[in-house]
């Protein structure tokens, strides 16, 4: 059973994509139809090798990219994610091993994890810049236990307790890596709206495993899942409010991606006189990813600013590790891949931005 969060994220994602596409179309049409002349010479000055940002005032340089060539930032991300999916893991009636669920994967929770976020952009003109963004979070890990007269779902079959008692330990880990190369263009006749288009590469990795201690034995299994999303995105950045050294900015991005996904399942029954078996499956599909965020920035010096913010990223059409339990059967050597799930990431960030 899919939880409501995946359906909501999918609907929100489609809305995000449509809104971004409409915004792009409307603004580009307005720009194409505009007969305005370029900015006057005194407002399109570029920063020469012997000039300093302080030489340009707000009155002579309303467009930021004419006052510097480079923009760089480094943030610390603090984010959590939902579990996604909903896989039955343990049952309370060994006589009916799959008839009385007592534990589900959606009862496990990830805490906040932290990771680095960096970006570097180069101004090509007073209107246009190109750059790269990267962030990584690989510290999500959670563990839970169920004990008693319970059966545990293994990939091949529900495993029954020996002597009426067993202790099942469930472990779930997840990682996220994001890389983007974007071209940004400030919309003519505005100093608050910038459009972007670019290439994005998202990697989502997961490991889910169970060890069942019963009757002095420890049968166990491990499922390793990887998603590699490659595609293009559109987006917009907006300066929502500026006053003195303070500024409030927001962004929205959305894209369609090809997902090269795979799963590897290892099942170990050697402690009960069985064998260790390994199976795998891979597939490709179309996925969606979109994110929104907001940043509050405080200028410290002419070049240096401090920033804090909040962001959310949702991804649809990916494979999650617990959901592969019903698609793997090492005892028969068969495996398929379920890549129909979604996951939502969200949290805050804080860091510094420097321009020169």
Q: Count how many Cα atoms sit within 13 Å of the Cα of residue 144 in the half-sphere of its side chain.
A: 14
For residue 214, the 8-state DSSP code is B
Q: Please compute the mean of the pLDDT values over residues 253-279 and round it to a whole number.
A: 96
CA 21, CA 89: separation in Å to the nearest integer? 41
Q: Are 149 and 161 in contact (CB under 8 A)?
A: yes
CA 261, CA 228: separation in Å to the nearest integer? 6
Which of 65, 27, 70, 34 lies closest to 195 in space, CA to CA?
27
Q: Are 346 and 311 in contact (CB under 8 A)?
A: yes
pLDDT given at position 59: 35
CA 330, CA 333: separation in Å to the nearest integer? 5
Helix (H, G, I), strand (E, B) or coil at 162: strand
pLDDT given at position 66: 63
Q: Please compute the mean of the pLDDT values over residues 117-130 and round it to a whole number.
A: 94
Q: Is the pLDDT of residue 30 over 50?
A: no
pLDDT mean across residues, the chain: 85
Q: Please compute the mean of the pLDDT values over residues 21-48 and round it to a whole number.
A: 42
- As a whole number of Å, the end-to-end CA separation of the chain is 52
pLDDT given at position 34: 44
Which of 346, 316, 348 lies closest to 17 in space, CA to CA?
316
Q: Please compute the mean of the pLDDT values over residues 149-168 and round it to a whole number.
A: 92
> CA 352 → CA 72, 116, 119, 320, 332, distances in Å?
9, 12, 11, 34, 55
pLDDT given at position 93: 78
Q: When comparing pLDDT for 35 and 94, which is higher?
A: 94
Q: Please compute the mean of the pLDDT values over residues 37-65 and round it to a whole number.
A: 40
pLDDT given at position 188: 80
CA 339, CA 61: separation in Å to the nearest integer? 49
pLDDT tens for 78-111 read 999 998 778 999 998 767 777 789 999 989 999 9
> pLDDT class for 291, splitting at 50, 70, 90?
very high
For residue 272, the 8-state DSSP code is G
> pLDDT class for 140, splitting at 50, 70, 90?
very high
CA 89, CA 103: separation in Å to the nearest integer? 6
pLDDT tens for 242-254 read 999 999 999 999 9
Q: Please compute the mean of the pLDDT values over residues 259-286 and round it to a whole number.
A: 96
Q: What CATH code would you report for 4-37+68-355?
A: 2.40.128.90
pLDDT given at position 294: 98
> pLDDT class for 64, splitting at 50, 70, 90?
low
């Amino acid at each position: 059973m899919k939880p409501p969060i995946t359906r909501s994220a999918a609907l929100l994602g489609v809305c995000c994509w449509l809104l971004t596409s409409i915004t792009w179309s409307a603004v580009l049409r307005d720009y194409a139809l505009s007969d305005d002349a370029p900015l006057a010479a005194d407002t399109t000055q570029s920063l020469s090798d012997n000039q300093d940002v302080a030489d340009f005032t707000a009155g002579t340089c309303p467009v930021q990219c004419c006052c510097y060539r480079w923009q760089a930032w480094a943030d610390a991300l603090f984010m959590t994610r939902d579990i996604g999916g909903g896989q039955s893991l343990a049952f309370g009636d060994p006589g009916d091993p799959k008839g009385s669920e007592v534990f589900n994967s959606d009862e496990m929770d990830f805490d906040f994890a932290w990771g680095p976020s960096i970006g570097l952009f180069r101004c090509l003109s007073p209107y246009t810049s190109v750059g790269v963004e990267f962030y990584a979070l690989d510290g999500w890990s959670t563990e839970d236990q169920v004990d008693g007269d319970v059966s545990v779902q293994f990939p091949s079959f529900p495993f029954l307790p020996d002597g009426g008692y067993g202790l099942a330990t469930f472990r779930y880990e997840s990682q996220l890596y994001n890389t983007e190369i974007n071209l940004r263009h400030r919309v003519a006749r505005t100093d608050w709206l910038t459009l972007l288009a670019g290439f994005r590469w998202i990697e989502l990795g997961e490991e889910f495993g169970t060890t069942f201690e019963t009757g002095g034995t420890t049968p166990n299994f491990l499922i390793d899942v990887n998603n590699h999303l490659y595609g293009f995105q559109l987006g917009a950045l907006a300066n929502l409010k500026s006053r003195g050294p303070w500024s409030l900015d927001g962004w929205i991005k959305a894209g369609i991606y090809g997902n090269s996904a795979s799963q590897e399942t290892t099942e170990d029954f050697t402690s009960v006189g069985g064998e260790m078996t390994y199976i795998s499956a891979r597939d490709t599909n179309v996925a969606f990813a979109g994110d929104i965020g907001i940043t509050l920035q405080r200028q410290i010096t002419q070049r240096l600013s401090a920033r804090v913010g909040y962001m959310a990223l949702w991804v649809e059409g990916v494979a999650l590790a617990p959901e592969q339990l019903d698609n793997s059967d090492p005892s028969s050597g068969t495996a398929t891949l379920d890549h129909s799930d979604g996951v939502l990431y969200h949290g805050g960030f804080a860091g510094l931005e420097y321009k020169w």
